Structure 1
Amino acid sequence: MRPALTGLATPRPTRRPGGRLNLPATLRANLAHTRRTGDGRVLVVPERPVFSTRVRNEADWRLVFVVDVSGSMEASVVWSALTAAVLGGVPTLSTHFLAFSTQVIDLTDRVADPLSLLLDVRVGGGTHIAAGLAHARSLVTVPSRTLVVVVSDFEEGYPLGGLLGEVRSLVSSGVHLLGCAALDDTGAPRYSVPVARQLVAAGMPVAALSPLALARWVGDRLRGETR
């Protein structure tokens, strides 16, 4: 997954001393400042050195995983926890993990340790996707820089009107929203196609994505790409 996320935390050039000298940038900036030595060599005089500054520690983007942990979701929960742990290591990304069945539990403090996250997840119960999305909506501060990823088989156990309303609210606010179909032990998708069609019509794309494909989607959004 890491190649899909490269370039999201690269050092930035700066004139302010403090980081490592950016040699290629320094050479380009000082090509006009040269002198010839007595033996005929041409030297570049670095009158304007360029340094590489560290990327800010605070996260620029927020990713909220909304993961269905109802009785039929055990295999997908494993995929989701491992994927969240990898994405949680991206410096420019603040990753949250919400587990839901008929209730919502915020396990964000476990994201750095996927084993601890999996041990704290209790798989079982019904499915209330709307409740998970409502909790995710409460975490949104800058919609245009927020990604909400729903992992579910979309077998909603409550009236669909509530779920579709939450989707429309998030989409209209500018949040980047994606529905990921549940995957079984072999990685094959298993989800309610009729409900998925209604979610797509409400504005949330639904796809069966591997963790690698999901990482590419996240990387594209953080780079400003929309393909």
Structure 2
Amino acid sequence: MPDNDSNEGLSESQIDNTDESSVVFYKQKGSSKSHISKAKAQRRITTILGKQFEGKIEFRKNLISNTMHDPSVLGICKSSAIVLSEYAPDRVDFHEAFHFAFELCVPAAIRDNLYEYYAKRNNLDIHSKDDAVRKNAIREVAELLADRFMNYSKWYIEQKEGDGRIKTWIKGAINNIRDFVLSFSQRSDGNLNNLYAAIIRGKYAGIEPDKKSV
């Protein structure tokens, strides 16, 4: 996981003065027609991480981090808080909640195995002796997994927040069949899909962050 420089709450000054390498964040991938809903984001994040996270979600109208000077950064996750831009597209809350659950709550053995597999699969050297190369590789894997979780969340939202039409059920059935096949053809993909399902349903809600991972 990208290094965390603090285990304290994420105040505005902490965000604005932090080094980019110390956080995991979401960058805008393209234009979005729908912006994040504060109410939905609060509900989704607390479902995944637990009610004790309610006071640790902040929404901003300005730049997420003045240090980064990058308007495409629309969400940040650190060890004890999540900060989201009001201009972030829908489901960025899932992206950041995944970072927290995966990096701090999921057992290290599961997390490390997935890091190893997806780093190798994407030709990323997470064990490089070059500190910059290693940190960048770890960040890329972290963002890849979080982006994939964000995509995974789309079907879950259609089930929980949609209108319940038959097409949602059909899409869900297709996804379930796909995931079942993947679990045999590519074991790590199947393991990741199972982990996504566990995280999004709140398996790790309320779990204290692993102090070794903070």
Q: Same fold (TM over 0.5)?
A: no
Larger Rg: 1
The structure where strand makes up a greater share of residues is 1
The structure where helix makes up a greater share of residues is 2
**Structure ranking higher on relative contact order (CA contacts 8 Å, 6+ apart):** 2
